[in-house]
Amino acid sequence: MNPVTLKEAKLTFGGIKKVASGARKASVLICVPSIYLSDLKKANLGGRVELGAQDCHWADQGAQTGGVSAYMIRDLGVKTTIIGHSERRASGDTDEIINKKVHTALTAGLRVVFCLGETERGKNGDYLAILQRQLEIGLANFPAKLADRLIVAYEPVWAIGKNATGVETPDGFLHNKIFIRKVLAGIVGRKKALLVPVLYGGSVNPQNAGEFLNAGQADGLLVGRDSLNPKNFGEIIKIAETAK
């Protein structure tokens, strides 16, 4: 829920647009609060930059006061929404609710950035069962023919923000990326699973972005706090532009 005024949102967005518009290799998706989508959509983004939504409701329309429908998002010309972000999961989104949201978004014609991640890192790899459950339930009955509309973002919740209890490593992410692809293969098939981008999201900053993109082989980054800082975000984009 940042920033809290439209004026500030336009200023922040203007700064981000300036640093992002020069991207030639990296694609930049800026997911803003839904209340700002209509105003910010009027800006001529250009290049490889586009707007996305942060979430959508599982219902397509009707008696859901306060909800934002995937169809409302699509009607604005916005083509992508995040679903299953760790903060939404913490606020009550279950795997089953997330699955409903995924299908509604797909039916509305949206692309989905599907987030998953464990809140604690188990010592014996027990957390992998959590990731598997989140994928198998959250993406249950996902149409394989629409796999090109799926992006997966791995968020190790325990390594994010001021309450972080540790730091994820590029090697750790790569291990989980391989596991995620194996589970995806059982959902959409091996060939299509290999084409689904798997992003890393966990306190991404200019200091660690390169390591996750190169050594960690992340297909992209889900940037949180530093996405509100045009200077830092610009540095991350530059790093993504030169990633192997």
Catalytic residues: 85, 155
Rounded to 10 deg, the angle between the 95-107 and 127-138 helix axes is 40
Q: How far is CA 48 from CA 32, 235, 241, in A?
A: 17, 16, 12
Indicate the DSSP class of residue 51. E
Give the helix ranges, DSSP H, for the chain. Answer: 6-20, 34-41, 70-75, 86-90, 95-107, 127-138, 170-188, 190-193, 209-213, 230-241
Indicate the DSSP class of residue 229. -
- Who contacts 39 (Cβ-Cβ below 8 Å, separation ≥6)? 6, 9, 10
- For residue 153, list its beta bridge partners: 115, 199
CB 151 within 8 A of CB 114: yes
Neighbours of 178 (CB within 10 A): 11
CB 180 within 8 A of CB 131: yes
